[in-house]
A and B are shown apart, each in its own frame.
Chain A
C-alpha cells in the first residue's frame, strides 16, 4: 500500500515538471530603436583621452560616469588631437589632423567643436594651417581665452608659434612667433604664456584683433638641465602650477601684469628625494576647493619620469604637508599613469593605469570603489568635463 502511494506521488511530480517545462514564457515586447540621450552633467563624470596608439589616426575621448560605472559615449578626435573645454563647459574644441585617404592623402588641420550636452559634432569647423603641434596631451596644447573670444592652438613645424582663432569670425586671425617657446597658457584678459627651453616664461599680450601687442620674458624660474618641470601644467585659481621631475612644486601667479613665481617647495622629504619621483602621462592634478594635490609617484631614478606609479600621494598645498599615500595594486591593474579628482565635495579620484584600466577611488580616503578593467585602447589623460 505504502509503495503504491509513493509511486503515485512520483508520477504526479513528474507530470507537473513536464507540464511546467512545456509552458512557454510570455513573449518579449517589441522594441523601438532609439538614440540614448545624455543625462545632466555630473561632477562625477570624467573625460578619458585615448591616443589609440596602435592606430593613431583614430584618437577618441570617452565620457565615463564614475557613479554608474559606465561609458556614456565618445568623441571622435582624429590624429594627435589637442583639446580644450570651453569656459562654460558646454563645448569641447578639438584641434586635430585628418588625411584625405585614411592613413595617407592630403593633410587637413582643423578645429572641430563637440556639444558636451549631446556628444554631437557641431557644424562649423575652422580650418588651420597644417602646422599644429602633434604631441602628447596636456591642458595647454590648445586653450580658450577666458572670455571665450579666441582659441589658441600651439604650432610646431619644428618652428614654434601659435595660431589665434577668432571664434566669432570662425577663422585664424593671427599667428604669434614664440621664438622656440611652446604651449598656450592663457590668463585674463588677453595674455598667453609659453614655456621656453632655457626655463623662462614668455608672456605675450594679444590685442582685440588677435595680434601681438607686447611681450615679456621672465628670468629662468626652473633649471631645465638639473630638474625640468613636466609640461602637464595644473590650472589654479590664479594661474598654473607645475611639478618637477624630482618632486618640487612651482606655482606661477598669472593674475597680474607680470607673472609672479612662488618659491618652489618639495612634496618629498630629503630622504625620499631622488628615490621617489612623480611620473606618468598626467603626473598630478588638483582638487581646487580642498587645496589638495594628487600626485602619481614611483620609485625610480634618472629617466624614469614617464614610469607608472605604485602610489598616489595627497599633498596639502597650503601647508605643503603630505596627507596620505594611496597604494595602487600594480600587479592587478598595472601602474598608475594619470590622476584626476572630481571637483565636488564628495570627490572621486580617477586613476588611469598603464593597462588602460580606470580606477575609481574615494578621493578623501583612497578606498577603491570600482575598477573599470579596460577603458579604450591606450587611455588616458583624464579631464573634468
Chain B
C-alpha cells in the first residue's frame, strides 16, 4: 500500500477538540512541518500530549491548545520554552503535568490497549494533587503495595518525524535516540510520519542497521516527505539544531512586534516550501 500523503491532507484529519500526540523530545526531531501546517489551519482546542519543545510554544502562541499533557517543555539549549511560559503565566492553559516516566507509561498503556500501568513514580509528589483524575491501585499479591495507576493516554492523531521512511510506512531514525515515537504511533487512531527522505524499502538498511527501523508499517497511516521538516529542531545526522534561528524565535516572546515580524516572515506563508525558502533566504 502506498501511504504517501501531504502535510495538508494529514492536518485535514485533525478536528478541533481532538487529542494530538507529537513525537520527538524538547527541541529534537520534532515534526515541525506538520506543526506549521496546523498553524495554517483553523483547528483549535487541541489536547496536546508530548515531551514538549517549540512545537508546544508555537501551538500555544497561536491559540491552538486547550490542554497540554507533558513532563516538560524545553528548547534544550534554552532551558525554558518562552512561548509556553508566557501561556502558562497568563493562565491560558489547562495542564496535566506528569513525571517524564509517567508520560511514557501512559503512552505504553494506550499502545498495549491496557486501561493503565502501575508505577511508583508520582507517589508523594504534587503530580497527584494537580491531576486529581489519577488514581492509585493496590497490588493484588501478598505485598499489597499501593502504586499510581497511570491511565492510558489514548490519542486521536500522532505526528512524528523520522530520518527515512518508505512509502509503505516503515520508519527509520538515524540519530542517537528513538525517543518515544513508536509509542506515540501505537497509541493513536491515525498516525502520520514526516521524514527527511522517502526511499525504496530495500534502501532502508543501507542507511542504518535493522534496529533503526523503529516504526513498522502497522503503526503508520500516512508518510510525508519533508526535507528539513524538523527545522529548527535537530535531526541528526541529517542536520543539527538551527541555534541562531531558535534564538530568534525565543526572542519573539519578549516583544510582540518581533513576534509579528517572525510570524509574517516564517509562518503566515502558503506552504512548507515557502517556509523552507524563507529559511534558506535567512541563511544567505
The judgment on whether A and B are partners is no
